[in-house]
Amino acid sequence: MEVNDALVQQLADLARLEFSEQERTEIRGDLQRMITFVEKLNELDTSNVAPLLHLTADYNVFRDDAVHSSVSRAEALKNAPEATDEYFKVPKIIKK
């Protein structure tokens, strides 16, 4: 597949990008190298290669969900510099 100015312009329009003439020339060369690489990969025989679904054999390495007790309101408020019975007291920072 040959990358030409029309293809580069079509891709730029789809991506809503604008390129200078120098940038368009560089992009055309980059795209051509990418397409050549993919075409080279297509020459390989992959009929006996199993599809790779995951990069590792690990499966669900997450921990199980478990209910744990949390800090009580009284314990949290006892370390506050200023607090009421229910809330932390903080200085007002928004002025009207």
CA–CA separation, 26 and 5 (whole Å): 11
* Beta bridge pairs of residue 83: 88
The predicted pLDDT at position 30 comes to: 95
In terms of CATH architecture, what is 5-42? Orthogonal Bundle (1.10)
List the chain domain ranges: 5-42
Distance of CA 48 to the CA centre of its chain: 32
Q: How does pLDDT run across 15-66, given as a tens digit for each residue?
A: 999 999 999 999 999 999 999 999 998 898 988 988 888 788 777 778 888 8
CA–CA separation, 57 and 37 (whole Å): 28
Q: Specify the residue for token string 């030409």.
A: 4
CA 58, 59, 62, 65 torsion-angle sign = negative
The predicted pLDDT at position 85 comes to: 85
Confidence band for 9, pLDDT divided at 50, 70 and 90: very high
Is the pLDDT score of 84 beyond 90? no
Is the pLDDT score of 73 beyond 90? no
